[in-house]
Chain A
Amino acid sequence: MNPTFMIAIPLLTAFLLFVLPKRRWLNTLFITLVALFTSVYSIAGLFNIEKSMSFGMGGWPTPFGINLVVDNLSAFFVMVTQLSFLLTIFALFGWYRAERYSGALMMTFLAAVNGMILTGDLFNLFVFMEIASVSLFALLNLRESSGSLKATFNYMVLNALASSVYLIGIALVYRATGTLNMADLSQKWGVISEASATTVFLMLLTPLLLKAEIFPLNLWAPRIYGRSSAGITTLLAGMVAPAGFYAMIRLFSLLSSSGTTQNSLLILAVLTMVIGEVVALTRKSLREMLGFSSVAGMGVLLMAALSNAMEGALFHLFNLALAKVVMFLSVELLTAGGRDDLESLKGTYKRNPAMAFVFASGAFSVAGLPLFAGFRSKLIILSDMMKAEHYIITAVFIFASIVEFFYYTRAVQHIFSSNEEIAGGRQCSHPLSTLVLLAAAIFIIFTGIYPESVMALAEKAQMALTDVGAYVASVLGGM
């Protein structure tokens, strides 16, 4: 797979939309085609990767110019984000027809998220992070209210602060080592003294922790999830958070960090998980509940990644992204963008039984019910953490899972409970989006029963992550 296409084609489309005739169906068609192309191309590429490949951009030799890296890990993450995007586009088909502006924003967003994952350069990562954030800020206000505007303002201020910290980190790295290429930097990282290395490492991690919704940098998340349209927050839970998580684990593997750093991050991850699950339990609004649950999910991933359960973490990331996207979208279609507190959900399954089924399969997957995909990945994380003798954290993880199981079952129970007041027959989703979401729900159950295919991909990705030598050799050409 040539990574240039993954960035160039969405970016080109974003500008093409302004040249094409002003027809909504034409814009929608174009966006859908691009999303289909990037998904198919990334999945096809995923099965053809022998080893890590580096592509120098703009004719510069690699440590000096910007390079894009494709290996099993980055291809895996690109695949996850493409699937989230494709699902979102299809599911929103019914009520969302692309205006030029929002369509173009979606395209720049897609290009930037792909860039965040594929890039091999620290500064380029910063640029793509900013493009993704700016597009997202605008998209979050597609259906604007004073609540969503204020939440966005909050998010923007925090984001700008974190980016500034990252830039200072870049300045320090460049001063000490004279390079910003990640592979080159991993060779020269030893030049920096240990105390400064820890500081710089944490500075580089700051915006990534913010993107991956890790406590205490996730204070923006609840308001955004609660006040913005759920159709767009899927992009947050299914694309931005995985991309941030990817950049984080890539930095973990390339730049060695002290045990204290890893342990403190592990504590933050566990705190994220516990706080997220417990607060989700207390929420009345379904969107907010899902938001906190998504924060908790990212905590689980970081916790697993830091306690020797990387393979399970990657598999769980796939399941989590899919389930979250499916749940946010089905909530949007179930409630028709209206009230979403648990009481008003009573009996909604009569209104739209397909969406109720889709929501239930997503919820049970995240909650880790047997037969669903999330059960398999949680089991792998558990057994790997037990093998690595992290007993206390494992106990906390089990506690959090029980809480999670409880509130998801409660939500599903509310949706399926009978209520005389709601009359049937008010179908509000487009047949195509129903079909696509149903397919995704069936895929979740399929992965739960036959997890081997996705497991194999996660395993290959994990091997690519640990093989730092191959990564560096592919970028620097065996220097």
Chain B
Amino acid sequence: MNLYTFTSLLLIAIGVYGLLSQRHLFKMLVSLSVLELGVNILLVSIGYSKDGVAPILTPPEQIINPVDPLPQALVLTAIVIGVGTTALMSAIIVKIYKRTGTLDLSSNRGEDE
């Protein structure tokens, strides 16, 4: 297991811990972001090879030790999706705060039912 895989697993663990232990909506959102970051690093670490080069604009015969570009493409997509969900979640959190006046998930203040 290289350093990147280790880091990613550590970040995933931090994220899961944060999600389980926090009741504050924004702290939960931050935990989720940390978790997603960990997953993205895990994806990149799969294509990693030591001293590899990115196979962009290099003639095929000169590439000796290429980095696998596919996981990087996957991560780009995953990051974009992550940004989208984070933005939507922030919007929903703001709306919850406006309606209930609290950011605590376990509080029942302002429930209309």
A and B bound?
yes
**A residues neighboring B (CB under 8 Å):** 123, 127, 130, 133-134, 137-138, 141, 144-147, 149-150, 152-153, 156-157, 160-161, 164, 167-168, 170-171, 174-175, 227
Q: Knowing A146-B99, A227-B113 touch, does A156 contact B88 (C-beta < 8 A)? A: yes
Q: Are A153 and B39 in contact (CB under 8 A)?
A: no
B interface, CB within 8 angstroms of A? 12, 19, 25, 28, 32, 35-36, 39, 42-43, 46, 70-71, 74, 77-78, 81, 84-85, 88-89, 92-93, 95-96, 99-100, 105, 110-113
Q: What are 15 pairs between A and B in contact, CB < 8 Å?
A: A123-B77, A127-B81, A130-B85, A133-B85, A145-B113, A147-B112, A149-B92, A152-B92, A153-B93, A156-B85, A164-B35, A167-B43, A171-B39, A174-B46, A227-B113
Judge whether B112 and A157 touch: CB under 8 Å: no
- Asked if A171 and B43 make an inter-chain contact with CB atoms under 8 angstroms apart, the answer reads yes
Neighbouring B residues of A157 by C-beta, 8 Å: 19, 28, 32
Whether A153 pairs with B89 at a CB distance below 8 angstroms is yes
Which of A127, A156, A160: most chain B CB closer than 10 A? A160
A134 contacts B84, CB within 8 Å? yes
Give B78's nearest chain A residue, CB to CB: A167
Q: Which residues of chain B are near A145, meaning CB under 8 Å?
A: 99, 112-113
Q: When chains A and B are docked, how far (Å) is the Cα of A252 from the Cα of B25?
A: 37
Distance in angstroms between the alpha carbons of A188 and B100 in the assembled complex: 52
Cβ–Cβ < 8 Å partners of B84 in chain A: 130, 134
Residue of B nearest to A227 (CB): B113
CA A233 to CA B41, docked complex, whole Å: 35
Contact, CB under 8 Å: B112 / A146: yes
**Across the two chains, which residue of chain B brings its CB closest to A144?**
B95
Known: A167-B78, A168-B39. A147 touches B95 (CB 8 A): no
Cα distance A137–B99 when bound, in Å? 18
- Alpha-carbon gap, A259 to B81, bound state (A): 35
Contact with A141, one of B19, B77, B92 (Cβ below 8 angstroms)? B92
- Chain B nearest CB from A227 CB (Å) reads 7
**Max chain B Cβ within 10 angstroms of own Cβ: one of A134, A141, A150, A152:** A150
B residues less than 8 Å from A123 (CB atoms): 74, 77
The 10 closest A-B pairs by CB, nearest first: A146-B99, A130-B81, A167-B39, A175-B46, A149-B96, A164-B39, A171-B43, A146-B100, A146-B110, A160-B32
Q: Which residues of the partner chain B approach A137 to less than 8 Å between Cβ atoms?
A: 88, 92
- For A152, the chain B residues whose CB sits under 8 A away are 92
- Known A127-B77, A130-B85, A171-B43; judge A146-B92 contact (CB<8 A): no
- Nearest to B29 among chain A residues (CB) is A157
